[in-house]
Structure 1
Amino acid sequence: MASNKRRRQNASRPGRLHRWMVRLSLMALVGVLALAGYMVYLDVQLRERLDSRLYQLPARVFARPLILRERMVMRPDELEAEFEALNYRKRDTLTEPGQWTRNGMDYRVWRRDFQHADGREPAAVVSFRLRNDEISNLRDENGERLESFRLDAANIGTLLGGGDDRNPVRFADIPPLLANTLIAVEDQDFLNHFGVSPRGIARAMLANLKAGEVVQGGSTITQQLVKNIFFDHKPSLWRKFNEALMAILMELHYEKGYILQEYINEVWLGQQGSRAIYGFGLASEFYFQRPLDRLEPHQIALLVGLAKGASYYNPWRHPERALERRNTVLDIMLKQGLIDADTHRANKAKPLGVSSAGGNAQNPYPAFTERLLEELRPYYSYEELRTAGLRIYTTLAPSVQKVVEDAVSAGAANLEKTRGIQKGSLQAATVLLENQSGKVLAMVGDRRPHYPGFNRALEARRQVGSLIKPAVYLTALERPHKYNLATPIEDAPLRVESDDGQVWMPSNFDKRSHGPTPLYLALAKSYNQATARLGMDLGLENVRQTIRRLGVQADLPRVPAMLLGAVELTPFEVANMFQTIANGGEHVEPRTLLAVSDADGGHAQYFRRRADRGVDPVPAYLLRYALEQAMREGTGRSAFRRLPGSVAFAGKTGTTNDYRDSWFAGFSPGVTAVVWLGRDDNARTSLTGATGALSIWTEVMRSLPHRHGRVEPPRGVEFKPVNERGQYMDPDYCRGGTELPFSYETRLQPAPECAGRDRWRWFRNWFDRGDQQEAAPREEMTPGWGIDPSEEERRRERERQLQEQLRRDDESQQDPQPDEEPLQLPRREEDLRNRAAPVVEAQPWQREAPQPWELEDQWP
């Protein structure tokens, strides 16, 4: 019995084993099928993500490129500020693009290859000389003369901060030393494994066992790329399992070069606030302000070292750790034969060499960028600006911006110190425009120029005080049959009373009346009473329309106090207004935007200059002359002594009640600049326009290049001598008087003292016939800000010919003046009833509406 039972048991064992083998085989088959199915699923996910992969890149912003021209005005410090903005390095000899040399006043520059909006310009060398602050002998590397040479444009930041940021590079553009160093440090079996490296895993396990802690990982570069693209960084076995499978699949579908390229573009290498720095392309700019292909071995070693932990090895917060890690990578580079012993020794002795943390701001020019965004919004969505990688070409001039920033920061601090003002209480804003083009060359919205807070240049509406007065005098000068620069204006007490008893009685700054004063001096010396009388004679509505034609769209109160500056404008709006005067009456819309292209530099959209003729050139020139006198003998004379006398500067101070706001707005032949100083709480500053804003404006203007020489008058203007009563002093009969410009339409009364002085004039004229000499040629202007001297000479010749024709034109009829609407007068708290003064009734003037905008095909 027992033996039979044992035989049955022995007979059943093969059956059981067979059944277990079948079950295990079925389970393995199901597992393999399940794994295969899961890998198919992962493969679909992997290929869909990688094949349709588009980087989300913020828009990149570029400054205007500096164009070097023969006879262009440029000082060494300005030129070198442009080089600094471009991150060009000064060297004894040129060895690569992005370098410059100087020998005395001779310069050589190796321009980088750059994709402009209108095409790519390759790297090239140019040489030139700076003689008397003027560029000459501009030549290419073969010695051929050049009329102009355009440098590349400085990258001045990105738009819409926050999120992931990178500057992707193609495999062909990756420096071999970087690729080989990365493989040597991160994955020595990269070229041989199939996505997972058993040797690397074993090596990591051994190193960790020896150290007693996790000191080395076994992940390949392919696994790290998968983790960066698909997973978070939380450790788990399931994540590691998926990483391994997807790494194998990635190796099946993609070449090693593509995998390395994507890893180089995807690895996280730093953080700046909410902005994440991804990829070696952007990290090269972020840490060293250099393109990736221009990095030195020690710089490559630091970036490769940061891949292990950019936060832990942050070179600004933990420089010792970063230096140690960099040197470790240099040791590996030597061990692997990537660099020789001399290079290793020299690079290991170098400091970290990272740029200052503050210099890597994503948006270093917040005031300018805010205006840029306003101009972009009608054309591009928020999502496009944040993710499409657009290239935005702007008008910002880095050297001018630096001048303005330094002047504002130092000027505000100096005024607080010398004037006994509470430290840190003054705020400032500045806008600087190019007159002819309307380009915004610089903008500062805070005395801390890089602080991205409240932008006072665009958003601070403050009363402008006497800055509004030029509009009053322009309104008068547009009526040449009644007013001219020599017309006496009565500077005497004025009382304006409304029907409901509201009274307005302005007074001068010095509390005195000056009697009859020539119109140009009343403006130059900023007499309130004379200005108020003139404005009321002209009519408030006429003055309001003039302000509109000068480019101001803000609300304008219909009260007499408007004539003296009871108008709230931003510094940007004030610059817009004065630029029209500086540009001879042609209003050009201020702009920061030149062009926008796609991420590769193609399909560019250009933004053209938009202008309209708001004011006739003749009265605009006469007003300019009066504002020049404001600099010579009026409220701006303190600046005139510090500025070159050969430049035609013009401008106007502005001070508001209780010294709350200090303004100065002025211009040279090339640029217009406006400076505002005040306090955010609107408290008293004790500064006038002359003692406050003018000092900063002067420092800005004296640091910039300008066109020298007299500004040529337009056709329709002639200079004549007049006496203090505004009467013509015929030089053929008498001498003396002040020579002023007048419109041809102006008919001056002859001075009685000159009548009949020369009864033998006919006799002299008889013998003088045929002996007339040609007039001496006018002084040639030194070109600056892109002025073409030959074009300037042709323009002058055309104007001289037209002047002769205009002399024969008939006298035009004076326009009629319709009645004015009722005035809304401000209430005065003090008792003014006992002050005797005449009541002046206003007489308005209706002007034609401004001409429509005209598009002009001028870029950049």
Structure 2
Amino acid sequence: MASTKRRRPRAPRPGRLHRWLVRLGLLALVGALALVAYMIYLDVQLREQLDSRQYQLPARVFARPLVLRDGMVMRPDELLAEFAALNYREKKTLSEPGQWTREGMDYRVWRRDFVHADGREPAAVVSFRLRNDELSNLRGEQGEPLREFRLDAAAIGTLLGGGDDRNPVRFADIPPLLANTLIAVEDQDFLHHFGVSPRGIARAMVANLRAGAVVQGGSTITQQLVKNIFFDHKPSLWRKFNEALMAVLMELHYDKPYILQEYINEVWLGQQGSRAIYGFGLASEFYFQKPLSSLEPQEIALLVGLAKGASYYNPWRNPERAMERRNTVLEVMAEHGLITPEQYRRYRAMPLGVAREAGAAQNPYPAFTERLLQELRPYYSIEELRTAGLRIYTTLAPSVQKLVENAISGGTERLEKDRGLQADSLQAASVVVDNETGDVLAMVGDRRPSYPGFNRALEARRQVGSLIKPAVYLTALERPYQYNLATLIDDAPIRVEAADGQVWMPSNFGNRSHGLTPLYLALAKSYNQASARLGLDLGLENVRQTIRRLGVQADLPRVPSMLLGAVELTPFEVTGMYQTFANGGETVELRTLLAVSDANGEQIQKFRRKAARNVDAVPVFLLRYALEQVILVGTGDSARRSLPGSVAFAGKTGTTNDYRDSWFAGFSPDITAVVWLGRDDNERTSLTGATGALAVWADIMRKLPHRHGRVAAPRGVEYKTVNQRGQYMDPRYCKGGRNMPFSYETRLEPAPGCAGSERFRWFRDFFGDDRRQPRELAPEQEMTPGWGVDPNDQRRQQRERQLQEQLQMDDQGQQLNGGERDEFDTQGEFDTQGEFDREPLQLPISEELDSDVPVEEARPWAEEEEQWP
């Protein structure tokens, strides 16, 4: 029987399902490896970005901090303006920094913590009394007396606006209520999830299905932070996938406080033109004008609500939407026990409380900021100012700036209405500085102060008219042997003829001449003829050099009309010139910049006061007397009634041809202010310096605090009484006359009626006369060019002039013929060895400028006698 061989069973072939499982496994493995590789790539990108992350922050600008001192002059409205700039709130009782309270004349203020250029000052409470515009009883929180107390500095904007802007905060500085509200509204599982929250996604899906629309998102705070840093806001599945992966990676490397801090600094919360508002720190200032630490619960609720859509819920454009969203957030806060039900009802009933939109401007003081940039550019690049987050500490005084802005805006509108001028035709500029320090306290370059256009304070070069005349009279007063305040100046017609036959004949206002006039009164009344004759006598080049020594660097034409204001200066340059007068001859460089620190508050650079003395104090003090008379009896006397009589105000009006420019430059012992009014098209305004700029200047100065009392005379000045001819009147033998300052070097002729002392001369000669001993003089090294003229030469020239006037008067008594004539040399200067007579001179010509003297005020010297004591 044949045996049969048993066959072994064949293994079953793999089925199709099995093959697909193997393939899927391999694909999963490859995918997992690819995902790991991709996550490693994302991890590298994330860590490089975050570890080296530096915010691009524009430089932040701060006003000067108000320093309270016992005995300082302070008006209540000035103090309130400072509080408003700091956004301090008045409360019945103090509960947190940034508040003040008042009971009668007693104030209490809770200062905020602030990092100044010289270090941090913590929050603290101060009390003081403000009575009769004087601060007293300055006390600390425990009642201890204080010498001074510095408030924090108001933030006044950022430099080089546009682009992203933020004010980053550290986690330690984030109010707990803000952090907890964000978590409750945006990501309730934030403290427990690992970057992605399945529960949050499920909850959002349910809420959206119930509402039939997308009403809630499932993204965590971590995912939103990743999106804000790494991705645009266009929706896509790929973006959501990357967000989830990077959120997980972020949670691996960084803790929750850091993630929450970065979200609070990164979220977009508003837009202002090209400027994007990022982070709650800046949004707090943008919407409420106060720091994040001072926000109240309803304000926090509004900002948290804006994180959902700052444009859609804009509180200025869409206040109803913003109110609804804020109240929704307040409801969430109540549900999570962050506020009580009573608080919820109270906060829900409150208004939005956002600042006026204009108050949130990135650069509310464009004229001041432009000058600030000019001072910064030698030290910092545009890139540094745009991105390095520098802190710029400036001289701007918010209360003074506000006062000047109101005076300019209101004054131009009022003048247009009262004078029947076309509406919005007048333009204006003003600069206000501290005399001693040169600090620019306020600057306005447009009648619309916040308009960032043409800055007339810095850029508008206009003829200054009679504002230049004090330089002519200062040149004369620097020659004490030849000129003094009582020296008679001939205000008579003058005619200068050029080589090409053109004639320059300056005239006074109203075409009136006033004959022999004391020097001080010729300046106070702004007599053109007297000023031109005096300037030509002194020599054009000498006057030009005086203007240079006053700090003016602008072009100065070598023509006679320069003496009457054919010089183009900006209001800023005029301010520097007049501040030298106010400062007793010391020129202090005007500045807006005090210090710069980095973003952390560590000081980088401090800018110190720069000063130089190019003019002696004695002639400047004499000139100050004449400029005080401008306001007392001269072209500026219309302002006298509105200014406090106990303050020594001084200044000068300026008007140019056809009333194109109206100027006033003036000062008190503490402050110099300049105002210009005119039209951009250079057309006629119908305003003189007295009827236009002076009114605005007086409105500014009468509201500022000033030092009261007479200005002390420097060494080298004595007061003497003289008659209307400038002759000395010994008070022991004569009565009347005018008492005015003179240099010790001035030798006055005795008045004929006051020679009674000559009867006892034999007695004084025998026993000696102390009155004939020389007085103490200013040190010779302090004197400037023009001093030390030989008295013998001066007397010889005076006798020659008197003789020429007697021999050369024509039939009308107005025009001289013959006599020695001044010549114009090849350098454009006068040879002033001889007297300037009234015969035509061969000189270059420029246009005639009007005087500032109104017709009713142009009185001859004889009419002034009644004003003498």
Q: TM-score, normalised by structure 1?
A: 0.89
2:84 aligned with 1:70: no
Aligned 8 A contact 1:533 1:840 in 2: no
> Structure 1, residues 645-681: CA drift from partner, whole Å, max 9, x if none?
1100000000010111100000000010000001111
TM-fit CA distance, 1:121: 1.1
- Written as runs of structure 1 = structure 2, the 5 A alignment for 1:790-829 is 804=776, 812-814=788-790, 821-822=825-826
Whole-angstrom CA distance in 2 between matches of 1:163 and 1:10: 76
TM-fit CA distance, 1:20: 3.1
Whole-angstrom CA distance in 1 between matches of 2:663 and 2:788: 39
Aligned 8 A contact 2:159 2:386 in 1: yes
* Matched residue type, 2:247: A
- Written as runs of structure 1 = structure 2, the 5 A alignment for 1:368-407 is 368-407=368-407
TM-fit CA distance, 1:807: 11
The match for 1:118 is 118
Which stretches in structure 1 are left out of the alignment for 5+ residues? 1-6, 773-801, 826-835, 844-860
Whole-angstrom CA distance in 2 between matches of 1:652 and 1:398: 27
TM-fit CA distance, 1:758: 6.8
> Structure 1, residues 680-736: CA drift from partner, whole Å, max 9, x if none?
111111000000000000000000000000001110111111111111112233222
Distance 1:9 1:702, change over 3 A: farther
TM-fit CA distance, 1:124: 1.1
2:140 aligned with 1:140: yes
The match for 2:584 is 584
The match for 2:852 is none
Distance 1:758 1:51, change over 3 A: same
* Matched residue type, 2:840: V
- Written as runs of structure 1 = structure 2, the 5 A alignment for 1:212-231 is 212-231=212-231
TM-fit CA distance, 1:296: 1.1
TM-fit CA distance, 1:738: 1.1
2:251 aligned with 1:251: yes
Distance 1:103 1:757, change over 3 A: same
The match for 1:238 is 238
3-state SS of paired residue (2:720): strand
Whole-angstrom CA distance in 2 between matches of 1:9 and 1:550: 120
TM-fit CA distance, 1:756: 2.9
2:93 aligned with 1:93: yes
Distance 1:236 1:565, change over 3 A: same
The match for 2:24 is 24
The match for 1:205 is 205
Distance 1:77 1:668, change over 3 A: same
Aligned 8 A contact 2:165 2:275 in 1: yes
3-state SS of paired residue (1:652): strand
Whole-angstrom CA distance in 1 between matches of 2:36 and 2:125: 59
3-state SS of paired residue (1:759): helix
Aligned 8 A contact 1:732 1:761 in 2: no
The match for 2:667 is 667
Whole-angstrom CA distance in 2 between matches of 1:13 and 1:199: 46
The match for 1:179 is 179
Whole-angstrom CA distance in 1 between matches of 2:606 and 2:80: 29
3-state SS of paired residue (2:511): coil
TM-fit CA distance, 1:568: 0.7
Which stretches in structure 2 are left out of the alignment for 5+ residues? 1-6, 795-821, 830-836, 845-869
Aligned 8 A contact 1:78 1:399 in 2: yes
> Structure 1, residues 327-362: CA drift from partner, whole Å, max 9, x if none?
111111111111111111110111111111110001
* Matched residue type, 1:600: N
The match for 2:808 is none
TM-fit CA distance, 1:821: 3.5
Aligned 8 A contact 2:479 2:788 in 1: no
* Matched residue type, 2:552: V
3-state SS of paired residue (2:38): helix
- Written as runs of structure 1 = structure 2, the 5 A alignment for 1:135-534 is 135-534=135-534
TM-fit CA distance, 1:588: 0.6
2:738 aligned with 1:738: yes
TM-fit CA distance, 1:198: 1.1
3-state SS of paired residue (2:759): coil
Aligned 8 A contact 2:118 2:603 in 1: no
Aligned 8 A contact 1:734 1:757 in 2: no
> Structure 1, residues 351-389: CA drift from partner, whole Å, max 9, x if none?
111111110001011100000000000000101111111
Whole-angstrom CA distance in 1 between matches of 2:619 and 2:9: 124
- Written as runs of structure 1 = structure 2, the 5 A alignment for 1:751-762 is 751-756=751-756, 759=759
The match for 1:725 is 725
* Matched residue type, 1:281: G
Please identify, of 123-132 and 679-688, the stretch whose mean Cα deviation from structure 2 is larger: 123-132
> Structure 1, residues 603-630: CA drift from partner, whole Å, max 9, x if none?
3310011111021101111111100011
Aligned 8 A contact 2:284 2:290 in 1: yes
TM-fit CA distance, 1:232: 0.4
* Matched residue type, 1:466: S
Distance 1:62 1:808, change over 3 A: closer
* Matched residue type, 1:454: F
The match for 1:701 is 701
* Matched residue type, 2:599: A
Whole-angstrom CA distance in 1 between matches of 2:572 and 2:780: 42
3-state SS of paired residue (1:604): strand
Aligned 8 A contact 1:732 1:758 in 2: no
Aligned 8 A contact 2:745 2:777 in 1: no
> Structure 1, residues 517-552: CA drift from partner, whole Å, max 9, x if none?
000000000000000001111111111111111111
Aligned 8 A contact 2:499 2:843 in 1: no
Whole-angstrom CA distance in 2 between matches of 1:807 and 1:476: 20
Please identify, of 94-103 and 520-529, the stretch whose mean Cα deviation from structure 2 is larger: 94-103
CA RMSD of aligned residues (A): 2.6
* Matched residue type, 1:625: Y
* Matched residue type, 1:113: D
Whole-angstrom CA distance in 2 between matches of 1:206 and 1:812: 98
Whole-angstrom CA distance in 1 between matches of 2:484 and 2:838: 26
The match for 1:786 is none
Whole-angstrom CA distance in 1 between matches of 2:334 and 2:303: 17
Whole-angstrom CA distance in 2 between matches of 1:841 and 1:500: 9
TM-fit CA distance, 1:484: 0.8
2:601 aligned with 1:598: no
Whole-angstrom CA distance in 2 between matches of 1:648 and 1:610: 26
How many percent of aligned residue pairs carry the same amino acid? 77
Whole-angstrom CA distance in 1 between matches of 2:12 and 2:543: 116
> Structure 1, residues 296-335: CA drift from partner, whole Å, max 9, x if none?
1111111110000000000000000000001111111111
Q: TM-score, normalised by structure 2?
A: 0.88
Aligned 8 A contact 2:651 2:667 in 1: yes
> Structure 1, residues 554-591: CA drift from partner, whole Å, max 9, x if none?
11111111111111111001001100111011001100
Whole-angstrom CA distance in 2 between matches of 1:175 and 1:125: 21
> Structure 1, residues 239-295: CA drift from partner, whole Å, max 9, x if none?
111111101100111101111110000000001111111001111111111211111
TM-fit CA distance, 1:11: 5.3
3-state SS of paired residue (1:748): coil
3-state SS of paired residue (1:269): strand
3-state SS of paired residue (1:389): coil
> Structure 1, residues 164-195: CA drift from partner, whole Å, max 9, x if none?
11111111111111111111111111111111
Aligned 8 A contact 1:541 1:820 in 2: no
* Matched residue type, 1:242: N
The match for 1:839 is 840
3-state SS of paired residue (1:234): coil
Whole-angstrom CA distance in 2 between matches of 1:536 and 1:497: 13
Whole-angstrom CA distance in 1 between matches of 2:779 and 2:461: 45
Whole-angstrom CA distance in 2 between matches of 1:398 and 1:667: 20
Whole-angstrom CA distance in 2 between matches of 1:9 and 1:298: 83
* Matched residue type, 2:61: V
